[in-house]
Chains A and B, each alone.
Chain A
Amino acid sequence: MGRPLTITEKIILNHTDLDDVMPGDIVNARVDIALGNDITAPIAIKEFETIGIKGVFDRQKIALVPDHFVPNKDILSARQAKMLREFAKTYDIKYYFECGEAGVEHALLPEKGIVLPGDLVIGADSHTCTYGALGAFATGVGSTDLAYAFAFGELWLKVPESIKVVFEGRPKKWVSGKDLVLYLIGQIGVEGANYMALEFSGNTFKHLGMADRFTISNMAIEAGAKSGIFEPDEITEEYVKGRANRDYTFYKSDEGAKYAKVLNFNTEIINPQVAFPHLPENSVDINEASAKNIKIDQSVIGSCTNGRIEDLRIAAQVLKGKKIAKYTRLIVIPATVEVYRMAEKEGLIDIFMDAGAVVSTPTCGPCLGGYMGILADGERAISSTNRNFKGRMGDVTSEVYLANPAVCAASAILGKISNPEEVM
């Protein structure tokens, strides 16, 4: 028996040939899945072709998901998507998805069982940390890193220190994973976990499902974190079984494992949160936000953060039988084709359309100011996405407020930032 390890240290150690790893060590780690999208993979593909190696390391361990500007928004985007398609054909990449079978990468890969507990996943997309929800070590890297991983199936990584984040207690009504993570970022700041792994635990997560865990891990990067991991449990098992078609491993942190710090939060006092422009750390209680009478032009429900079926169900619960405010746009974007299909079958799409929303095919679209809902100068949006940086969704003078899907739905109905309680 070596020294006690965190779940993060264990997963990294098991992907090296070493006997021990310490925070701060730089190691070469084997990669289970290497991911790229239509923005980051084109650079990786160009770089890969300069390495002078025959073929990729493993055609079954690469995922290429065109999602940011797909269905292609313009000719240049079409060219980038074409590069992915050609690369996928050339190397017979197993996990390549056209838009009719795909969706937002970080919703898609877990849904299809492509990323699994115990995996080491690198992705050329900052929200790759989403898969930490499954008990995997997953982190965002750059395109050059991805090219290197395409070639060698490994990558240099610095073993991170971990911060343990404990949420105890039952969440209030309308409080979701989004609110807990916005609250956390409000407490520690956008740089509060820079270079570190966040490890989430506490009995609150017995009351929340996998969708909430995905949302929380997804936004670990907004506190600067390298990863955001949950110890897998019966809720993870329930999600993974039936999706996985290879073996997976549940790792747990050892008793006595060392943490840089431990943060304890009482979930029972947390209300839905709204992050004000222009940083995710500007989170404010929904009642305070609502009292400010902040008019909105657009509401967006979707993205790798909150575009899952659970998110759409909550939004539909708020919107059912109601109309959105005049001169307000509500854009609903199911994160994957499968989510879209489920929403259709459950009657959610009708609820959205009856309320006056437009429903888009899966895409990252407006989240990053790509297309499908760009803001004009001075316009204001509330959004279930993950970033509210200056100009993130359009003109540099526009504003984005971040919130959970229920708050986004309620705000669309009243045309101003609102507590779901105000419309129920």
Chain B
Amino acid sequence: MIFKGKVFKFGDNIDTDAIIPARYLNDSSDENLKKHCMEDADPAFSSNVSKGDFIVAGSNFGCGSSREHAPRAIKASGVPVVIAKSFARIFYRNSFNIGLFILEANTDDIASGDTLEVNTDNGEIKNLTKNTVINAKPIPKFMSELVNAGGLMEYARKRVKEGGRR
């Protein structure tokens, strides 16, 4: 799939407490998560983000807690893809499980406000503002199948339809 939007750039080690602070975890609704997404990293994020925009970050994005609320908050904000130099493990698997695209790439030359065109099939990231192209690491086959199938729950429903538990 191809997505086009503007960039919200963050640094290294953006933890899940910054993505969705624990004080809001008493309500897992999309509306609540969206309202407080990225609040402790950029309090203005939820009012400035538009559907189709990208979160771009440095290394170890999503470190810390296993809270799936973090990728859900990002997805609920309308962000289709997160691009970072590297991702923490649980955030990585949670994103694919819920159908949020994750790309690993060198993000040094991407700045806040840049417009990107991102192809999740081949990992090509065109920076339309700077007229450059960056190639993301290929998404492992299993992961792209998972996300293209609509995530793990879609896969689970299919498994039940096709014959149940085992």
Contacts and interface: CB of A to CB of B under 8 A. Distances in A.
Contact of A50 (B86, B97, B157, B159): B157
Interface residues of B, number: 43
B68 interface: yes
Interface of chain A, helix or strand or loop or mixed?
A: loop
Interface string A65-84: 00011000110110010000
A194 interface: yes
Contacts, number: 140
A265 interface: no
B160 A53 contact: yes
A331 interface: no
Interface string B64-90: 111111001000000000000010111
A77 B26 contact: yes
Contacts of A43: 28, 68-69, 72
Contact of B89 (A26, A145, A194, A390): A194
A72 to B, nearest CB: 9
A144 B97 contact: yes
Contacts of B5: none
A224 B86 CA distance: 11
A144 B27 contact: no
Contacts of B97: 142, 144-145
A76 B31 CA distance: 14
Interface stretch (B10-18, B46-54, B112-120, B122-130): B10-18
Contacts of B21: 369, 391
Nearest to B95: A142
A125 B66 contact: yes
B4 interface: no
A190 interface: yes
A191 B59 contact: yes
A68 B66 CA distance: 13
Which 7 A-B pairs give the minimum distances between C-beta atoms?
A: A76-B26, A142-B94, A142-B68, A126-B66, A368-B22, A144-B97, A140-B66
